[in-house]
Structure 1
Amino acid sequence: MSNTKRPRVLITGATGQVGSKTIANLLSNKELEIIAAVHSPQKVAAFNARGIETVILDFDDESTYTAALQGVDRLLIVTGYTVDMLRQSKAILDSAKKAGVQHVVHLGACGRDDTTVAHWAWHQLVERYIEWAGFSYTHLRPETFMQNILSYGGKKAIENGIIHAYVEGARLSWVDVDDVAKVAALALAYPEKHSGQTYRLGYDAVTFDEMATMMTAIIGKPFRYEPLAPEVFLQSMIDAGAEMAYMGCVYEHWKRYAAGTIPGADDTFDNFAQITGEQPVKMADFIKKHQAELDY
């Protein structure tokens, strides 16, 4: 029996879309130890029932960092949708460096290197800090999640065949969260192959009108797109008590999408097959996969 230590891989955001799906992709790899980071004891039982080790890590409580990072070799960083992501990322990276973490996979956001979309740029500043700190790294920059057409902000995004979005007729680049998680898992499992890489992840460029046409054809019921003014989003975030330093940036980027002033908003990439050996999910594939959820 080998006494070789298996690399310990810590997944933050373990209960979220990307984190949970990344864990699912890694569980079959018996050469790794997978640890789910959760921010409260109430989250532990569900992971333990599946045989997944857990640690308590609260991004807003730096006293939880040392124990959570003990013995960790590789780290997936997934932060939340507040401006605190900047402080949180720096703090966790500083602790990770002290703990001896070797490889960091960071879930960032859309955008070319010269983006001026504020919250996308924040993620790029985190990328630079990771590099400056001397980690081996893989940067992930997913485009718009296809899952957003199922629900957004905790609410259904499509009601009775009516699609609402805040971008007028803009063409967006899209990616299935399942595909993002596949890339994240491979980057964590095989850092020697993926170190030093920035992977932009977007594989289909589609307008909401085109999406409605696809849904109508695939599901066999009428769908149509009714654009909303970005101001509707802004007011909904204010009413919900959201953290407005971040959501104000999201409001501004909806305005820029609608005005057509985000360079590369519809950029797509051909890297998925090279990274995974598979073909990425396109929008029509996604609609077929989630037909039951989209039907009405």
Structure 2
Amino acid sequence: MSQIIPKILITGATGQVGSKTIDFLLSNPEIEIIAAVRTPEKAKPFAALGIKTVLLDFDDENTHLAALEGIDRLLMVTGYTVDMLRQSKVLLDNAKKAGVKHIVHLGACGPDNTTIGHWAWHQLVERYIEWYGFTFTHLRPETFMQNLLSYGGKKAITNGVINAYVEGARLSWVDVADVAQVAAIALQYPEAHAGKTYRLGYDACSFDELALKMTSIIGKPFRYEALSPDVFLQNMIAAGADMAYMGCVYDHWKRYAAGTIPGADETFDNFKSITGKEPTRWNAFIEKHKTELNY
């Protein structure tokens, strides 16, 4: 009797975490990877790699059940708008109907008692997952190291000048690839990671400290110029961004800058026990991305 191969659906498959999670899963012949895409055009790169795709639009619930048919495990990655609350609820309602067993949810930073708006929204989604009785793994990454390469579609550094909205705050950081690796492991071995909430942040640094590290490793001068969080707010308004969400982001920049986020630079020691490897730290990240950071 042939063994039934578990089917894993990756939402956010074209994004940073989703695409890297797929990369980590590709070497495992004992699972079937299915990438969720919004349009047939976005399916083409996956088809070229021999990866099956389904059409799924978070905002069109009529696409959900067909996309979730036969799926055992789901990586859930939502967008950066307040709609993530409704989208998550409806997708989870349909995942329950479809018989999905395990949810790996990409959330946000913070302890359970966080009062940062968008972090708290993710925790409401976590509670809904638990209420439904899915087995689950909650991922709570700290600030992505990749934000130093680009943020909001723009380069984060211009001619060696780093701009950010947090004054001199030290933040906890994680490489997107490390988040994806934990996601991939939780999707492959749900029984070992069910019921776990993994906070993912492995190196604490201020932007001044990062400028010194880059100057040393790249051999050109870097410096940090703090911007007021009000600059971020005006930029988001001008860009027509979803202000329910971006208002929360503005608030958290203000709190970082004022030093009023408890444990903002807290790091964790769970990565090696999950993956068997050491997490990426800043010196290695800068070395790896030297070409992109150089100017």
Secondary structure (helix, strand or coil) at the match of 1:210 reads: helix
The residue matched to 2:136 in structure 1 has which SS?
Answer: strand
Asked whether 1:271 is paired with 2:289, we answer: no
CA–CA separation in structure 2 for the residues paired with 1:44 and 1:203:
34
**Equivalent residue number for residue 19 of structure 2:** 20
Partners of 1:239 and 1:222 in 2: how far apart?
32
Which runs of at least 4 in structure 1 moved beyond 4 Å after TM superposition? Answer: none
1:290 Cα deviation (Å)?
0.2
Q: The residue matched to 1:226 in structure 2 has which SS?
A: strand
* 1:82 paired to 2:63: no
% identity of equivalent residues: 74
Q: How far is the alpha carbon of 1:42 from its aligned partner? A: 1.1
CA distance in 1, matches of 2:153, 2:241: 12
* Pair 1:176-2:175 in alignment: yes
* Distance across 2 between alignment mates of 1:114 and 1:264: 12
Structure 2 unaligned regions, length at least 5 = none
Pair 1:91-2:90 in alignment: yes
Query: What displacement does 1:5 show?
Result: 1.2
Name the residue aligned to 2:156: 157
- Residue 149 of structure 1: how far off its partner (Å): 0.3
Per-residue deviation at 1:60?
0.4
Instruction: Give CA-to-partner distance per residue, 1:239-263, whole Å, 9 cap, x none.
Output: 1110110001000100000000111
- 1:284 CA drift (Å): 1.0
Cα distance in 2 between the residues matched to 1:113 and 1:213: 34
Counterpart CA distance in 1 for 2:255 and 2:172 is 15
Equivalent residue of 1:66, what SS?
helix
Aligned to 2:42: 43
Deviation for aligned residue 1:180: 0.2
Alignment of 1:103-114 (within 5 A): 103-114=102-113
The CA distance in 2 between the partners of 1:61 and 1:115, in whole Å, is 31
Alignment root-mean-square deviation, CA: 0.5
Please list the CA deviations of residues 45-100 of structure 1 after superposition, one character each: whole Å capped at 9, or x if unmatched.
Answer: 11101000000000000000010000000000000000000000000001000100
SS state of the match for residue 204, structure 2?
A: strand
TM-score by length of 1: 0.99
Cα distance in 2 for partners of 1:29, 1:11 equals 15
2:222 paired with 1:212: no
Letter in 1 for 2:153: G
1-side partners of 2:208 and 2:44: how far apart? 43
Which residue of 2 is the match for residue 53 of structure 1? 52
Q: Structure 1 stretches of 5 or more lacking a match?
A: none
1:164 is paired with a residue of what secondary structure? Answer: strand
Task: Give the 3-state SS of the residue equivalent to 2:256 in structure 1.
Answer: helix
**How far, CA to CA, are the matches of 1:267 and 1:71 in structure 2?**
40
TM-score (norm 2): 0.99
Cross-structure match for 2:124: 125
User: 1:174-229: per-residue Cα shift (whole Å, max 9, x none)?
Assistant: 00000000000000000010000000000000000000000000000000000000
Alignment partners' CA distance in 1, 2:2 and 2:96: 25
Structure 2 residue aligned with 1:234? 233
User: What residue number does 1:63 align with?
Assistant: 62
1:222 maps to a residue whose letter is: P
Which whole-Å CA distance do the structure 2 matches of 1:128 and 1:22 have between them?
24
Equivalent position amino acid for 1:73 in 2 = D
Quote the offset at 1:41 in angstroms.
Answer: 1.3
Size of the aligned set, in residue pairs, is 295
Cross-structure match for 2:224: 225
How far is 1:264 from its partner? 1.0
Question: What one-letter code is carried by the residue in structure 2 that aligns with 1:231?
Answer: D
